[in-house]
Amino acid sequence: MLSAITVGLLALAASSEVAAAPQAGAKAHKVALQSRVPPKGQFTSVRKRASKAIGVPLDDFFMGTDLQWFGNISVGTPPQTVSVVFDTGSQTLEFASTDCSDCTQPNKFDPSKSSTFKRGRQTTTLDFATGVGVDPVVNNDYVLTIRSATDTVTVGGTSLPDVSLFTIIDQTPKFNIDPFLGIQGMGSQAEGFFEALIRQGLPSLFSLFLTPHTDGGAELLIGGIDDTKFEGDLIYADQTGEGDWEVESTQISVNGKTNSILKTSRSVIFDSGTSNILFDTQTTEAMYALISPDIKPFAAEPGAYGLACSEIGGLPAVIDLTFVSQSGQPFNLTIPSEELNVGPFESDPSTCQTLINAFDGLELVGGSLLKHYYSVWDVGGQRMGFAPNGL
Ligand SMILES: *[C@@H]1O[C@H](CO)[C@@H](O)[C@H](O)[C@H]1NC(C)=O
Ligand SMILES: *[C@@H]1O[C@H](CO)[C@@H](O)[C@H](O)[C@H]1NC(C)=O
């Protein structure tokens, strides 16, 4: 069994002693950028040297349901391939190294084989609020212990020196099912390799094309928008998170209905590293009440809900989240009914887990919504863009 790190997750908080990892000293430095899709016209205001967007093909971690999308970067000199989840719910780069004896996956990064690796002095822990797969997080069961470092990071053929990163030196066992080595945080403030790319003139945004397993072809496009991958125009809304990506929602509707609990303004986090959606218990139960009274909390996994697998097929469960565009127009992002069933519980295979997890204090959507849209994460403009992905 593979083991190891990560997932996409929403990092709750790093413990405070973490603080200042040495920031990437990203000096401007001439590189040959890999040519992909040219940025659209709106980037003509970028005055620095024009750079082409960088495409990173993504694989889908699929276990009966789409869990996370991950791709390769390289770290070190000479470069070692490191597979990471591009996680908009966290901010830093961390991956398993040979320093982690609990990390049992193959091809861990070996710092001793990189001539440019510089070990830092800080050790800290990262706690995650959402974990691998669809299970709720309970009792701090997704924790990484990490140590600061810097090294050259290569993404899509572009090498960036002295990027801040962390190597994992210990991890809770729950991380052990991941088919990837680490997490590349893609939060709403540019950090790490992304910040270094922007300093070189790349537009300060990235786009995600997170396709369902059956379609394939998922891609992260750094510094550009591929308008062949969506239909119509992108609709943009203001991003209000500090670090996380958040957009204000005015209402949730389920199967075309809403109620006073759902018709409330809330800040919704968009997390590419999480598969299920999470809402306050009260909101979760108000949503389930509009789907089926038979959906019940699953006692063995607090926060999870389920229904007899024999009853779940074809149950209507269309979830519309309403947002307001920058030009003041309401628009919906819709999670279709087929996302309701995320598969049987391991401990009770006749009960199927349903999409919404209760987690008080968090309102978050992830892959189950994002895979129905092409999404643009505009760091420079502090906004998010969406268009149906046309699949
Ligand atoms: C990542 O690199 C590995 C090893 O080079 C390769 O087998 C795999 O297909 C790559 N994954 C993606 C998503 O490109
Ligand atoms: C959003 O969805 C709700 C519920 O289905 C619907 O009443 C509303 O008209 C939709 N809004 C837009 C702008 O499409």
Nearest to 287 by CA among 311, 267, 315, 310: 315
Q: Ligand 1: which of 59, 72, 75, 211 to mutate, most ligand atoms within 8 Å of CB?
A: 72
Judged by DSSP in three states, 334 sits in strand
Question: In the chain, how long is the greatest CA-to-CA distance?
Answer: 61
The DSSP code sequence of 169-194 is EEE-GGGGG-SSSEEEE--SS--HHH
The DSSP bridge pattern shows strands 364-365 and 219-222 to be unpaired
Ligand nearest to the CA of 235: 2
Q: Atom 8, ligand 1: which residue's CA is nearest? A: 72
The pLDDT value recorded for residue 248 is 98
Q: In what order do the strands lie in the sheet with 341-345?
A: 296-297, 305-308, 348-354, 341-345
Whether 328 lines ligand 2, by a CB cut-off of 6 Å, is no
The pLDDT value recorded for residue 378 is 97
The pLDDT value recorded for residue 29 is 25
Residues comprising the chain, all counted: 391
Ligand nearest to the CA of 55: 1
Which of the 8 DSSP states describes residue 65? S
Indicate which residue of 151, 244, 271, 320 is catalytic: 271
* Contact (CB, 8 A) for 377 and 88: yes
Number of H helices, E strands in the chain: 4, 26
The DSSP bridge pattern shows strands 296-297 and 356-358 to be unpaired
Q: Which residues pair with 81 in a beta bridge?
A: 74
pLDDT in tens, 300-312: 999 999 999 999 9
Q: Ligand 2: which of 259, 263, 322, 333 to mutate, most ligand atoms within 8 Å of CB?
A: 322
Whether 72 lines ligand 1, by a CB cut-off of 6 Å, is yes
User: What is the distance between the alpha carbons of residues 89 and 111, in angstroms, rounded to a whole number?
Assistant: 26
The pLDDT value recorded for residue 384 is 98
Q: Which atom of ligand 1 sits closest to the CA of residue 72?
A: 1
Instruction: Write the CA distances from 216 to 61, 65, 213, 369, integer angstroms.
Output: 11, 14, 5, 16
The residue assigned the tokens 């962390």 is 166
Whether 316 lines ligand 2, by a CB cut-off of 6 Å, is no
Instruction: Write the CA distances from 201 to 55, 123, 155, integer angstroms.
Output: 16, 32, 15
Whether 59 lines ligand 1, by a CB cut-off of 6 Å, is yes
User: What is the distance between the alpha carbons of residues 312 and 285, in angstroms, rounded to a whole number?
Assistant: 17
Whether 255 lines ligand 2, by a CB cut-off of 6 Å, is no
Whether 79 lines ligand 1, by a CB cut-off of 6 Å, is no
Write out the E strands in 76-188: 80-87, 93-96, 118-128, 143-155, 158-171, 182-185
Instruction: Tell me, in angstroms, the distance from the centre of ligand 2 to residue 244's CA.
Output: 26
Ligand nearest to the CA of 180: 1
Known active-site residue 87: yes
Q: Which atom of ligand 2 sits closest to the CA of residue 318?
A: 5
The pLDDT value recorded for residue 50 is 41
Indicate which residue of 60, 87, 226, 320 is catalytic: 87
Which of the 8 DSSP states describes residue 281? H
pTM (predicted TM-score): 0.87
Structure-derived torsion over alpha carbons of residues 198, 50, 238, 257, reported in degrees to the nearest 10: -110
Instruction: Tell me, in angstroms, the distance from the centre of ligand 2 to residue 153's CA.
Output: 44
What's the token pair of residue 29? 């430095």
Nearest to 183 by CA among 199, 171, 201, 198: 171
User: What is the distance between the alpha carbons of residues 95 and 23, in angstroms, rounded to a whole number?
Assistant: 18
Nearest to 60 by CA among 179, 161, 149, 160: 179
What's the token pair of residue 58? 């993504």
Q: Could you say which residues of the chain have pLDDT below 70?
A: 1-51, 132-133, 139
Judged by DSSP in three states, 367 sits in helix
In the chain, % helix, strand, coil (3-state, to 5) comes to 10, 40, 50
* Contact (CB, 8 A) for 120 and 20: no
Ligand nearest to the CA of 255: 2
Which of the 8 DSSP states describes residue 292? -
User: What is the distance between the alpha carbons of residues 120 and 92, in angstroms, rounded to a whole number?
Assistant: 15
Write out the E strands in 223-297: 235-238, 246-254, 266-270, 277-279, 296-297
Q: Atom 10, ligand 2: which residue's CA is nearest? A: 332
Domains annotated on the chain, with CATH: 11-222 (2.40.70.10), 235-388 (2.40.70.10)
